[in-house]
Amino acid sequence: MSERPDNTTPHEAAARGPLLLSTWSFGERANAAAWPDFSAGGSALDAVEAVTVFCDEDPGIDSVGYGGLPDRDGDMSLDGCVMLSPEQCGSVCAVRKHLHPVRIARLVMDRTPHVMLAGEGADEFASAHGLPEQPLLSPEAKKAWQVRQAQGGGDSSDVRPVDGDPDGALFKDQEDRWRNNHDTIGVLGLDDQGRLAGACSTSGMPWKVPGRVGDSPIIGHGLYVDPHGGAAVATGTGELVMAICGSFLAVEQMRSGAMPQDAIREVLERIASRSDLQANHQVALIAIRPDGHWSSGALRPGFRLAFSDGSGHHTMDPAFVQLPGT
């Protein structure tokens, strides 16, 4: 059942743009960096790109761009997408030589008749459009991979995305933190002209099987934007989101009249009811309607989001956790 717009939580008060909503607490500093141009009348599209570019360049974020953790063999590959509407979206995956997947995805959207480019083709396209080749593996990420190798390697099946470790209680040491503290930047923007835009950038699951692509660059899975329904972005275990077209599902719910919190709950209920759910599985979503009502929810504790509007930049807990205490 949809909530009534007048029965709102703070997460669901209708907001007027400009407004930025980003996954994870590091989204706050990225939102703040994009804010001066955005609040001066910039477009939602420029703002969401700027948020992801900031995260790509921050070596302290171990899951996006430079500083991201590599695949099983120690090689980096990046994924990302950008979306304004079903007619205007672009995506790249398995990029190995260029730092900003969303920048390339926007070029795909603007300059080709296609939606998605993969691997070598995406890198060649980026170079042909003047984007510089850059090293993607940071010394810290390389060290984390070497430590992992020394411990016997292994795939991503023990990775659980968690936002920070404020009391030092979640992770026993730095290596444990590298193993777990993984997350994607997903950002939704509503500008002062009422235009919605969304973007995602990620290095994907750490230690992934080379060639693996998750939900983040796939339109309808990690991100979906429909000016008539709203926008949704997902983070966490991509395979769970991909199995149900998570972001598309949330937007379709809103398109049918649901409030964002109900739309997200529908997605998370389906994931929570999987027979093969693992303790390390996490998924979180943020969703916004074209009228500015927005919300967020997570499958398990440990997710935070960043919210920016005229009142400033705030890191906050999601409106609800589907499986609290897990």
Any idea what DSSP says for residue 323? S
Q: Of 216, 253, 261, 295, which one interacts with ligand SD4 (CB under 6 A)?
A: 216
Q: Dmax over Cα atoms in the chain, in whole Å?
A: 56
Regarding 27 and contact with ligand SD4 (CB under 6 A), the answer is: no
Smallest distance from ligand SD4 to CB 307, Å: 18
Regarding 138 and contact with ligand SD4 (CB under 6 A), the answer is: no
Give the burial string for 7-24 (b: 16+ CB within 10 Å, else e): eeeebbeebebbbbbbbb
Smallest distance from ligand SD4 to CB 77, Å: 10
Query: Which residues are the active-site residues?
Result: 184
Is the alpha carbon torsion for 298, 302, 306, 307 positive or negative? positive
Smallest distance from ligand SD4 to CB 67, Å: 14
81 vs 259 by CB, closer to ligand SD4 = 81
What are the residues whose beta carbons fall under 8 Å from the beta carbon of 261, sequence distance 6 or more? Answer: 3, 9, 11, 12, 295, 297, 319, 320
Regarding 215 and contact with ligand SD4 (CB under 6 A), the answer is: yes
How far apart are alpha carbons 257 and 248 in whole angstroms? Answer: 14
Regarding 235 and contact with ligand SD4 (CB under 6 A), the answer is: yes
Regarding 202 and contact with ligand SD4 (CB under 6 A), the answer is: yes
CB of 269 within 8 A of CB of 326? Answer: no
Tell me the window of 26-34, 40-48, 122-130, 182-190 that interacts with ligand SD4 (CB under 6 A).
182-190
Two tokens at 203?
Answer: 């290095």
Q: Of 18, 101, 206, 236, which one interacts with ligand SD4 (CB under 6 A)?
A: 236
Q: Find the binding residues for ligand SD4 in span 254-293 (CB under 6 A).
A: none
How far apart are alpha carbons 1 and 23 in whole angstroms? Answer: 26
Kindly list the residues in this chain that would bind ligand SD4 in the complex (CB under 6 A): 161, 182-184, 202, 204-205, 214-216, 222, 235-236, 238
